[in-house]
Structure 1
Amino acid sequence: MAKTLYLFASGRLGRKDNTLCVELEEGTKYYPVETVGDIYILGEVDINKKCLEFLSQKEILLHFFDYYGYYVGSFYPREHYNSGYMILRQAEHYLDGEKRLWLARQFVLGAVSNIRQVLRYYHKRGKNLQEIIDAIEPLEAKVPSCGSIEELMAIEGNIREYYYKAFNYILNDTSFHFEGRTKQPPQSPLNALISFGNSLTYTKILGEIYKTHLDPRIGYLHSTNFRRFTLNLDIAEIFKPILADRVIFSLVGKKMITAKDFEYRGGAVLLKESGRKTFVQEFEEKLQTTIMHRALKRKVSYQTIMRMELYKLEKHLMGEKLYQPFVSLW
């Protein structure tokens, strides 16, 4: 199975025959192209046109992160599975207000259901989260009756405010106290972790969309506009609580990432290379964790479940089966 290649240090990425060549200060490493699924560039890495053509030919996506560890964009090769029919179905469900709103509600319901599952999981393990769970449930009950995308996103935003407050109870670590969500750049260690974890989730789903007939530029909860990709943001809402957030709780809870893994630049807080490496290792392990799938009656990985979520969306768009979001049962 092809794996993700993470490049943290500065250097050069190139092609050597049928192999990817990474030139770093400590030496040169070679990676058979068949073993690479996608590439994450988190350092100052030079790359030339010849290499980009090679990656496009091999259908390998490149994801770029800035100095703060914030996602800035992707090299998305020409789609191999492009489908005019599917693009028309996606556009139809976007332009029809009722169809778009129905799908957007499903993404929010999936996100909130998984948020609730995370809260219940930690509540059962001694974290006093009942007050927050009780505050979220009436907001969740309003989702099916939302009459607009704006109303839906407002409710989803209110739910996440309560959810983020629960981080203080779950983590119980003064170094990772949550006082408010800040982005671009994050202004606290916990915000830096949340932003990094969310970005990994967005890009992983983007990579899975590339392997389907779906066009990532047409989203439903997140408006389709001149922004490059939005569908991956929609699907990510479902998976962020059970992937990115659970990884954060594990890393901080086990002291695998501590205050020493961050540096402060002006008002920005940066996750150091050591912290990023630890995070991606735990994140990749989480993606490959297998759980029993109710419908298939066999164990599948979270990464496989991501792809299956996209197949379910395709069937909905084609009118074969109504889309229902994945909800974790643990």
Structure 2
Amino acid sequence: MPRTYYIFTSGRLRRKGNTLYLERRPGSEPVEASAKATDEGPLPPKRSDDERADHQSPAENEAVADGLATETGPEMDLVNEDLPNSGSECVDKGSATDTLSAKGGIEAATGDDVDGGQVGEHPSARTSAAQESEPRLSLKGQSQAIPIEDIADLFLFGELDLNTKLLNFLAQKGIPFHVFNYYGFYSGSYYPRETNVSGYLLVRQVEHYIDATKRLIIAREIVRGAYHNLHRNLLYYRNRGRAIQDSIEMMEQESEKIETASSIAALMGVEGRIREIYYGAFTEILRLEEPFKRVKRPPDNMINALISFSNSLLYAAALSQIYRTPLNPTISFLHEPGARRFSLALDIAEIFKPIIVDKMIFKLLNRSMVTEDDLMEEVAFAYLKEKGRKVVVREFEERLQTTVRHRRMKRNVSYRGFIRLECYKLVRHLLGIEPYQALRAWW
């Protein structure tokens, strides 16, 4: 089944037939297959001052990341039929993680099966071995083969050389990839020409954006879903002894304004205040010595660095799922569409931040899976070292593969599948089939 590949190593990415080859730079260790997703390889060679100068600073790139990332229910159904069972369109089977580390190893976890398995079953119960590379393209054993049928999308963190032949091939196969810079900030996405297009749906999507009333209906429901999931997180930790009752009551009081907001700007203001209250509860949830405050441009401590990096991963994951649907990613409803950004991914991600990103961060910090040793601090900002980013990526992919028993579909659906389903629910609303209801976590 198609899988997501997170590539940290540096080198060249080339095509040969129906196979991609990751050719490591000379001097690196040969490619090896790793059976455990928890194994760590050595970090890539450190850049020289000249190489580092070629990269934008986090202050500059946080603004780029926020080009995709401005902070700001009920059970679901498909558009017309059940999810497909195979191929790149597979939603109910989560994509596995293949992390190509600096050591050259593939760290693989197979995808979760919506039709089977246990709820919340650990996705790394099974592993897959790396494919052997062809000698003709091998750089003294330093080439890693990746069959094109095995790729759903790519997340590129290392310095890789690509050519137009490869880009054309990825576009032909409908494989998007997302690029992150040296500091781990989102740089951009390669979004292949859409094949799953609908002129009628595009007209309806634009119509719902232009009509202020129709747009507000969708935006309000997105905020309702986001609030429900934020509120549920706080209730979870309150029931486990955290002193956050005041924050919960303040959020509940502020949430009443969601229904009375008469414009997108007013609704965004309410959503922003709810999140401000929510982030204030991090002090108790994470048992911090000093009050926590969300700082984005640039992040000033480890928690903010984790939030910024994790949000970027979620935006990219949401964009990959939007690509599999007829939706146009540049036309959004809560966030204002703008030049050079896929703003619909921001709308979808708002609903899933509490479920995927925030819960992951609580786990990483409360279990000391990421510590201050994983943070590299520079003048006025903070960012994660390579080792810390790998830990986050593995945990992020594990959450995307985690399955939940769907109450209406009567089968397990992965978190990645829920993101796709959210897109299809929006399609049904735009087509007038049924009103859109944002996901409200019940588990």
- 180-189 vs 239-248, greater mean Cα deviation: 180-189
> Scaled by the length of structure 1, what TM-score is found?
0.96
2:409 to 296, 306, 328: 296
Partners of 1:9 and 1:298 in 2: CA distance = 37
Identity %: 49
What SS does the corresponding residue of 2:193 show, helix, strand or coil? coil
**Contact 2:282-2:292 within 8 A present in 1 as well:** no
Once the two structures are superposed, the pairs formed by residues 182-221 of structure 1 within 5 Å of their partners are 182-221=295-334
Partners of 2:412 and 2:151 in 1: CA distance = 24
How far 1:178 moved relative to its partner?
Answer: 5.6
- Aligned residue for 1:284? 397
Partners of 1:36 and 1:252 in 2: CA distance = 31
What SS does the corresponding residue of 1:40 show, helix, strand or coil? strand
What SS does the corresponding residue of 1:180 show, helix, strand or coil? coil
- 246-255 vs 23-32, greater mean Cα deviation: 23-32
Q: Which blocks of at least 5 consecutive residues in structure 1 are unaligned?
A: none
How far 1:305 moved relative to its partner?
Answer: 0.9
Amino acid at match of 2:225: G
> Scaled by the length of structure 2, what TM-score is found?
0.72
Q: Which has the higher contact order (CA 8 A, sep 6+)?
A: 2
Amino acid at match of 2:4: T
**Contact 1:164-1:178 within 8 A present in 2 as well:** no
- Aligned residue for 1:12? 12
CA deviations over 1:93-116 (Å, ceiling 9, x no partner): 000000001111011111111000
2:220 to 102, 105, 114: 105
- 250-259 vs 315-324, greater mean Cα deviation: 250-259
CA deviations over 1:282-320 (Å, ceiling 9, x no partner): 111111111122222322111111111111100000001
What SS does the corresponding residue of 2:177 show, helix, strand or coil? strand
**Contact 1:68-1:185 within 8 A present in 2 as well:** no
- Aligned residue for 2:344? 231
What SS does the corresponding residue of 2:158 show, helix, strand or coil? coil
Q: Is 2:354 aligned against 1:241?
A: yes
Partners of 1:13 and 1:185 in 2: CA distance = 31
Partners of 1:118 and 1:47 in 2: CA distance = 42
Partners of 2:374 and 2:338 in 1: CA distance = 37
Q: Is 2:172 aligned against 1:57?
A: yes
Q: Is 2:186 aligned against 1:80?
A: no
CA deviations over 1:160-219 (Å, ceiling 9, x no partner): 111111112111245xx6632222431211111001111111111100000001000100
**Contact 2:5-2:153 within 8 A present in 1 as well:** yes
**Contact 2:237-2:285 within 8 A present in 1 as well:** yes
CA deviations over 1:141-161 (Å, ceiling 9, x no partner): 110110011111111111111
**Contact 2:283-2:292 within 8 A present in 1 as well:** no
1:90 to 189, 205, 209: 205
2:263 to 119, 129, 148: 148
Amino acid at match of 1:212: T
Q: Is 2:246 aligned against 1:131?
A: yes
Amino acid at match of 1:155: V
Bigger helix fraction: 1
